[in-house]
C-alpha cells in the first residue's frame, strides 16, 4: 500500500493539473452522515419524499425535518484531514480545482479556494416569496423557518428535480475535461451529472485515482481502499517527501 501512495504522489507531483471530485464520504470523518452507505440518510428517508422540489413546494416541513438529522447547525462541523490535505495541495500548485457534490462548505472552510459546489451550499437560505437572503438558520425540528415577510425559506441547495447551478456545472465539465489527474474521493458515483465526470476525465486522457473504502468507479487507474482522511494525509506526506528531495 505504501508503494501505491508513493506512486500516486509521484504522479500528482509530475502531472500537477489535478482536479478532485468529492462526495459525502469525504465529510464522513467530520461527523456528517453519507446518503447511501450502510446507515446513510437515504436508508432512513426516501429522497423522493424528503428531498425533491415538488414535495418541498407542497410541504417544506418534510425537508426541514431531515435537515435536523443531517446538519442541524452548519457551524458545528469542522473540516477533517482530507479537506485540509486538498487545500494544502492547492497551495502547492498540485490540485487546481475541487468539484464537490457536498453542501456542507467544508472545503472552503479548510482553505480550498477553487471550489465548484455542484449541489449548492447549505450556508445560504432564501425566501421563496420575496427572495430575501439569510444565513442558514438552526433547524427547529420540522418547523420550516419563516422569512420576515412570512414566506417559506429554502436552502440554496439543489433538491431532486431542480437544475444545478450553471457556473458550477460549466466549471465542472471544463475542469474534468482538461485535468491530467482526477482524485475521486468518497462518492458512490450514482447521481448525475457528477457521476459522469470521472469517465469524462478518463476519456480525455487523465489518470483517475479513487479514494474510497468501497470501490465505486471500476475504471479507476489507481484505487486507494481506505478512509479519505487516512489516504489524503498519506498522499500529502509522500508529496512533501518528493518535493523535499
Binding footprint of ligand OAD on the chain (CB under 6 A): 23-25, 28-29, 34-37, 40, 47, 51, 101, 119, 158, 186-188, 191, 211-214, 216, 227-228
Shortest Cβ distance from residue 66 to ligand OAD (Å)? Answer: 10
Please say which residue, 40 or 111, places its beta carbon nearer to ligand OAD. 40
Please say which residue, 199 or 242, places its beta carbon nearer to ligand OAD. 199
Please say which residue, 195 or 242, places its beta carbon nearer to ligand OAD. 195
Shortest Cβ distance from residue 198 to ligand OAD (Å)? Answer: 12
Gap between the Cα atoms of 192 and 131, Å rounded = 28
Residue whose C-alpha cell is 465505486: 216
Question: SS3 letters for 150-212?
Answer: CCEEEEEECCECCCCCHHHHHHHHHHHHHCCEEEEECCCCCCCCHHHHHHHHHHCCCEEEEEC
Shortest Cβ distance from residue 165 to ligand OAD (Å)? Answer: 12
119 annotated active-site: yes
Which of 83, 97, 107, 119 is flagged as catalytic? 119
Please say which residue, 43 or 141, places its beta carbon nearer to ligand OAD. 43
Shortest Cβ distance from residue 27 to ligand OAD (Å)? Answer: 8
Please say which residue, 181 or 188, places its beta carbon nearer to ligand OAD. 188
- Which residue is nearest to ligand OAD, using beta carbons? 25
Shortest Cβ distance from residue 113 to ligand OAD (Å)? Answer: 21
Q: Which residues are catalytic?
A: 119
Amino acid at each position: 500500500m505504501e508503494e501505491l501512495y508513493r506512486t500516486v504522489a509521484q504522479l500528482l507531483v509530475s502531472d500537477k493539473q489535478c482536479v478532485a471530485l468529492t462526495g459525502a464520504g469525504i465529510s464522513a470523518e467530520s461527523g456528517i452522515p453519507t446518503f447511501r452507505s450502510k446507515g446513510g440518510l437515504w436508508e432512513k428517508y426516501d429522497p423522493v419524499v424528503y428531498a425533491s422540489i415538488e414535495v418541498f413546494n407542497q410541504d417544506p416541513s418534510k425537508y426541514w425535518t431531515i435537515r435536523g438529522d443531517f446538519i442541524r447547525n452548519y457551524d458545528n462541523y469542522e473540516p477533517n484531514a482530507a479537506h485540509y490535505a486538498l487545500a494544502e495541495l492547492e497551495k502547492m500548485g498540485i490540485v487546481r480545482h475541487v468539484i464537490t457534490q457536498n453542501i456542507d462548505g467544508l472545503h472552503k472552510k479548510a482553505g480550498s479556494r477553487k471550489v465548484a459546489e455542484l449541489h449548492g451550499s447549505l450556508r445560504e437560505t432564501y425566501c421563496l416569496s420575496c427572495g430575501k437572503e439569510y444565513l442558514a438558520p438552526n433547524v427547529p425540528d420540522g418547523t420550516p423557518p419563516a422569512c420576515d415577510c412570512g414566506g417559506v425559506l429554502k436552502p440554496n441547495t439543489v433538491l431532486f428535480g431542480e437544475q444545478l447551478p450553471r457556473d458550477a456545472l460549466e466549471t465542472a465539465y471544463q475542469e474534468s475535461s482538461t485535468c491530467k489527474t482526477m482524485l475521486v474521493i468518497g462518492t458512490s458515483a450514482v447521481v448525475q451529472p457528477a457521476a459522469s465526470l470521472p469517465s469524462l476525465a478518463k476519456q480525455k486522457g487523465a489518470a483517475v485515482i479513487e479514494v474510497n473504502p468501497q470501490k465505486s468507479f471500476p475504471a479507476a487507474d489507481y484505487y486507494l481502499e481506505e478512509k479519505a482522511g487516512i489516504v489524503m494525509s498519506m498522499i500529502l506526506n509522500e508529496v512533501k517527501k518528493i518535493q523535499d528531495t
